[in-house]
């Protein structure tokens, strides 16, 4: 227009570009929340299972499976089992870590003793035995452990005995917790087969204040030794 000065583009304020930000999904130990809008404690059983088992590198597909090394001496010079069984290499194994048995072992070390009870040697530990047949309710879980004798060239530890125990879905331990002090479910002993394998059928244990779901176990040289906690080779946990 006449009388007006030309507009200097340098006088114009810089235009801001619209930037879209993507809201990050919260995660725990590198695993994105299954329910981003909910807190960690409300992510559900499937998320808890994935977190629990990924921490120990344990495979889960409806069942738990773990390979464990044990530095112990066995009586047999060859416990590798059948021809289809091969011993693991030393690079693949680490010794089972020594961990606490907790306050509810039931092995006679602090009172209650299930190891001397007839019927403790069983694969399915969901029910009590003896004076009660009450079954623990919860999500079913199959547990499989493979034992290797690291003092015998990592041969499968045939004949070793494993005593395993854990809490119920409410975080209570049989033989100890007031509501189930007269029960002995979720406890049992199994003997390793020619492949060094022991199997248990149980339920998924609860988490409780300060603890993720976990299981305790003790390893013994043989079933004959698994009658007294003083004979145990190692105490450890799956957690």
Task: Give me 89's structure tokens.
Answer: 């290499």
pLDDT per residue as tens digits for the range 161-179: 999 999 999 999 999 999 9
Sign (positive or negative) of CA dihedral 73, 76, 77, 80: negative
The pLDDT-based confidence of 193 (bands split at 50, 70, 90) is very high
pLDDT per residue as tens digits for the range 55-105: 433 322 223 455 556 543 333 333 333 333 333 444 567 888 899 999 999
The pLDDT-based confidence of 234 (bands split at 50, 70, 90) is very high
Task: Give me 63's structure tokens.
Answer: 């069942």
pLDDT per residue as tens digits for the range 43-64: 665 666 565 544 433 322 223 4
Instruction: Find out whether 197 and 187 touch, Cβ atoms under 8 Å.
Output: no
Task: Give me 127's structure tokens.
Answer: 């029910």
Mean pLDDT of 116-140: 97
- Indicate whether this model's pTM tops 0.85: no
> When comparing pLDDT for 24 and 189, which is higher?
189
Domain 58-74+89-238 has CATH 3.40.50.620: no
Instruction: Give the pLDDT of residue 181.
Output: 97
Instruction: Give the pLDDT of residue 100.
Output: 92
CA–CA distance from 129 to each of 122, 182, 188, 216 (Å)? 10, 11, 10, 20
Q: What angle do CA 115, 116, 120 make, to 5 degrees?
A: 55
Q: Where are the domains of the chain?
A: 23-57, 58-74+89-238
CA distance 133 to 73: 37
Mean pLDDT of 206-222: 91
CA–CA distance from 205 to each of 52, 141, 142, 172, 215 (Å)? 11, 9, 12, 9, 8
Beta strands in 98-185 (DSSP E): 140-149, 155-156, 161-165
The Cβ of residue 76 has, within 10 Å, a number of other Cβ atoms equal to: 12
Phi, psi (rounded to 5 degrees) for 48: -65, -40
């Amino acid at each position: 227009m006449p009388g007006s000065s030309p507009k200097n583009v340098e006088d114009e304020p810089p235009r801001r570009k619209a930037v879209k930000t993507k809201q990050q999904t919260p995660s725990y130990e590198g695993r994105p929340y299954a329910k981003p809008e909910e807190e960690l404690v409300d992510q559900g059983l499937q998320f808890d299972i994935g977190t629990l088992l990924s921490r120990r590198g344990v495979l889960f597909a409806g069942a738990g499976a773990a390979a464990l090394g044990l530095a112990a001496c066995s009586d047999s010079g060859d416990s590798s089992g059948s021809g289809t069984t091969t011993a693991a290499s030393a690079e693949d194994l680490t010794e089972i870590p020594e961990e606490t048995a907790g306050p509810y072992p039931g092995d006679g070390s602090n009172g209650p003793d299930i190891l001397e009870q007839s019927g403790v040697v069983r694969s399915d530990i969901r029910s009590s035995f003896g004076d009660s047949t009450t079954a623990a309710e919860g999500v079913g879980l199959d547990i499989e452990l493979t034992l290797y004798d690291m003092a015998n060239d990592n041969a499968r530890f045939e004949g070793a005995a494993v005593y395993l125990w854990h809490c119920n879905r409410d975080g209570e331990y049989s033989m100890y917790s007031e509501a189930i002090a007269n029960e002995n479910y979720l406890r049992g002993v199994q003997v390793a087969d020619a492949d060094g394998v022991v199997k248990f059928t149980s339920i998924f244990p609860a988490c409780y204040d300060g603890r993720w779901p976990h299981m305790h176990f003790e390893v013994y040289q043989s079933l004959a030794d698994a009658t007294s906690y003083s004979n145990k080779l190692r105490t450890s946990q799956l957690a």
